[in-house]
Amino acid sequence: MLRFIGRRLLIAIPTLFLVITVAFFMMRAAPGSPFDGDRKLSPEIEANVMAKYGMDRPLHEQYGAYLAGVVQGDLGPSLKYKDKTVLQILQENYRVSLTLGLSSIILATVIGVSLGVLAALRQNQTTDYVVMTIAILGVCIPTFVTAPVLVLVIASKLGWLPSAGWNGGALPNLILPIVVLTLPQVAIISRLTRAGMVEVLRSNYIRTARAKGLPENRIVRRHALRAAILPLVSYLGPAAAGLITGSLVVEKIFNLPGLGKFFVISALQRDYTVVMGMVIFYAALILILNLIADLLHAVLDPRVRLS
């Protein structure tokens, strides 16, 4: 088991390194600089500013310096937000994104797995068709359609919930963003669960369990679900990526002070260090989730450990 973890870690670290490298050089290849403001800086001042951030040095030296900083946990200062380091910006804004992401994934898992199991047990019956229709709708209606439509109907016309804003994380402000983020995940998770469940229910050991006379309830929960849930575990990484993508839209529409909003703005403003910090943060997050998924897989499925 330790060797398994070690090997996975050995793969994750060079991956992160490559991600940093690609993002660094892409960002620097972009025309413009973080100091192209509304006021034109005089050449002397611009040279001074560049020197202050070490941007007068050759690119490969800057890259080396940046990497050295990252290794020590220093993501550098923001080039746009004065007196703030990238770490501070991340710390101040991660909470919104985390709250949304975590609530959505938990909700989506609970609802999605229940629906998926239900559909699999009632295969080719009305329940199954209803669940699968919901799943298809969830995949085909993108977040940038559900979000404005829900805002229009529930917030503007009916006035049940606030249409935007964070308001210190008050529950009414959270409901719509979480619903928008959760729906597509429910769709995917229920599909995955149903597919896994249908396959498992046909397998020999389930037939054995039935033959032993175990109650159906126990068969489903103890025997079938454990195996059927495996594809879900590998979905953990992509789910995080999907939530991050969704949060870009949701944070924009609901005007929430999360990380996603920062990313697009910072990229457009050429705030190199902030963009890099976010790429590293999200890439690390996805790598860690993939690592956890691999480990869970190994725990749940003995066949993985052997290979």
- The footprint of another protein (CB under 8 A) covers 11, 15-16, 18-19, 22-23, 26-27, 29-31, 136-137, 139-142, 144-145, 147-149, 151-152, 156, 237, 241, 244-245, 248-249, 252-253, 263-264, 267-268, 275, 278-279, 282-283, 286-287, 290
Residue placing its CB nearer to another protein in the complex, 106 or 268:
268
* Least distance between another protein and beta carbon 168 (Å): 25
| Beta carbons within 8 Å of 163's beta carbon, 6+ residues apart | 151, 155, 156, 176, 254
CB of 14 to another protein, least distance (A): 8
Nearest approach, Cβ of 141 to another protein (angstroms)?
Answer: 5
* Choice between 220 and 279, CB closer to another protein: 279
Q: Report CA 229 to chain centroid distance, whole Å.
A: 20
Residue whose CB is less far from another protein, 156 or 167: 156
> What residues have CB less than 8 Å from 275, skipping those under 6 apart?
23, 27, 263, 266, 267
Lookup result for tokens 């994934």: 105
Q: How far apart are CB 285 and another protein at their closest, in Å?
A: 9
- For another protein, the closer of residues 178 and 276 by Cβ is 276
CB of 139 to another protein, least distance (A): 6
Of 67 and 241, the one with the shorter C-beta distance to another protein is 241
